[in-house]
């Protein structure tokens, strides 16, 4: 459970967060004013403080998807490290599923057999670019650890996907996470939360953490054998660019990439409808492109 305060006007309103649902509570009239101003309001940002280590406050930012009364349903939030302000330039995503896709185990063995000490300095294995929201981004898949970080290093990390940010906004962090989540879901045919941790960096140093429903400490994957002979640079750039055409909640531009299920929906009645709906989208996109190439309007 996450606890802290949100700033509103000249005061602070206490909150608790559970399952990305923020409950505000206070006997002060400030909550009444907040509810009046934000009731049924969508897509806005709140600033506040998080208290997770005793009485030391950490700066926090919350992206509210929708608020009803004193309840705010969060899309995501950022918690900065102690004494750190909003200073980050890169988002790093750890995903067991994408470790399998980017062949972490096989690349690690190849590096070790070649005499590379990955405990001293990390190595960039793959780099590719993709376009999202009319901006071009660079994606780097990195393995290994940086001994210069000392105890700040994450020794549980295997591989990490690093994307330099363009606007340094919380919405941008969410969009990148959503695109890479869809990449993981498509490549593994599963819709479970794919990320184990999402870190925000400044000049290579961790500055905060990004939280959303796509992150789970229980995230695991055992599909590395599926990608034993997978040619990452042949397929991933094209697939990623197609998925990145849509970073929002709705699929409007990208070509549908098939049914994505989870353990709860597998073999359910809705599964067949999802498959038919996605097939219909594929046919519409294909027919539209054929008509345009043949000169029909």
DSSP string, 242-261: HHTT--SSS-SSSPP----B
Domain residues of the chain, as ranges? 2-80, 90-243, 258-297
Q: What is the pLDDT of residue 266?
A: 47
Q: State yes or no: pLDDT of 257 exceeds 90.
A: no
Q: What is the mean pLDDT of residues 222-227?
A: 87
SS3 string of 213-229?
Answer: CCECCCCCCCCHHHHCC
Residues in the chain, total = 297
Q: Among 84-93, 102-111, 194-203, where is mean pLDDT lowest?
A: 84-93
Q: What is the mean pLDDT of residues 60-83?
A: 93
Q: What is the pLDDT of residue 160?
A: 96
Q: State yes or no: pLDDT of 263 exceeds 50.
A: no
Q: What is the pLDDT of residue 152?
A: 66
Q: What is the pLDDT of residue 177?
A: 95
pLDDT band at 256 (very low <50, low <70, confident <90, very high): low
Q: What is the pLDDT of residue 259?
A: 46
Answer with the residue of higher pLDDT: 81 or 74: 74
Q: What is the mean pLDDT of residues 200-211?
A: 92
Instruction: Give the three-class secondary structure for 30.
Output: helix
Q: What is the pTM of this model?
A: 0.83
User: What share of the chain in percent tops pLDDT 70?
Assistant: 81
Residues 175, 180, 185: CA angle, nearest 5 degrees: 125
CB contact at 8 A, 101 and 232: yes
121: left (phi over 0), alpha (psi -120 to 50) or beta: beta
Report pLDDT digits (tens) over 1-16: 899 999 998 899 999 9
Q: What is the mean pLDDT of residues 238-255?
A: 76
Long-range CB contacts for residues 59-65, cutoff 8 Å, separation at least 24: 59/84, 59/85, 59/86, 60/4, 61/86, 61/170, 62/6, 62/22, 63/170, 63/171, 63/174, 64/22, 64/38
CB contact at 8 A, 138 and 127: yes
Q: State yes or no: pLDDT of 89 exceeds 50.
A: yes
Q: State yes or no: pLDDT of 38 exceeds 90.
A: yes
Q: State yes or no: pLDDT of 164 exceeds 50.
A: yes
Q: State yes or no: pLDDT of 291 exceeds 80.
A: no
pLDDT band at 113 (very low <50, low <70, confident <90, very high): very high
What angle do helix axes 232-243 and 170-188 make, rounded to 10 degrees? 130
Q: State yes or no: pLDDT of 269 exceeds 80.
A: no
Instruction: Report CA dihedral (206, 212, 214, 216) to the nearest 10 degrees.
Output: 70
Give the integer Cα–Cα distance in Å for 61 and 48. 6
SS3 string of 10-21?
Answer: CEEEEEEEECCE
Q: State yes or no: pLDDT of 272 exceeds 60.
A: no
Q: What is the mean pLDDT of residues 56-64?
A: 92
CB contact at 8 A, 101 and 79: no
- Please name the residues in contact with 19: beta carbons below 8 A apart, sequence gap of 6 or more: none
Average pLDDT over the chain reads: 85
Answer with the residue of higher pLDDT: 150 or 47: 47
Q: What is the pLDDT of residue 34?
A: 94
Q: State yes or no: pLDDT of 295 exceeds 70.
A: no
pLDDT band at 215 (very low <50, low <70, confident <90, very high): very high
Q: State yes or no: pLDDT of 130 exceeds 90.
A: yes
């Amino acid at each position: 459970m996450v606890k802290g305060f949100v700033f509103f006007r000249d005061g602070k309103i206490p909150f608790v967060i559970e399952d990305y649902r923020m409950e505000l509570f206070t006997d002060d009239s400030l909550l009444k004013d907040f509810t009046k101003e934000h009731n049924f309001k969508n897509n806005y940002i709140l600033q506040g403080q998080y208290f997770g280590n005793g009485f030391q406050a950490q700066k926090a930012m919350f992206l509210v998807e929708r608020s009803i009364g004193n309840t705010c349903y969060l899309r995501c939030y950022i918690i900065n490290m102690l004494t750190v302000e909003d200073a980050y330039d890169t988002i790093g995503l750890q995903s067991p599923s994408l470790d399998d896709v980017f062949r972490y185990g096989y690349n690690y063995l190849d590096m070790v057999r070649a005499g590379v000490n990955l405990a001293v300095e990390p190595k960039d294995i793959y780099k590719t670019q993709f376009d999202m929201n009319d901006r071009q981004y660079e994606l780097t898949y990195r393995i290994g650890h940086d001994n210069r970080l000392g105890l700040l290093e994450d020794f549980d990390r295997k591989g990490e996907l690093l994307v330099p940010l363009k606007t340094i906004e919380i919405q941008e962090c969410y969009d990148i996470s959503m695109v890479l989540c869809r990449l993981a879901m498509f490549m593994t045919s599963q819709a479970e939360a794919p990320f184990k941790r999402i870190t925000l960096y400044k000049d290579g140093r961790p500055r905060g953490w990004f939280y959303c429903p796509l992150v789970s400490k229980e995230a695991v994957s055992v599909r590395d054998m599926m990608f034993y002979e997978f040619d990452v640079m042949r397929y991933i750039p094209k697939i990623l660019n197609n998925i990145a055409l849509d970073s929002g909640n709705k699929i409007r531009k990208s070509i549908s990439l098939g049914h994505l299920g989870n353990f709860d929906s597998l073999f359910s009645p809705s599964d067949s409808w999802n498959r038919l709906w996605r097939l219909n989208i594929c046919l519409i996109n294909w027919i539209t492109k054929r008509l345009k190439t043949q000169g029909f309007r």
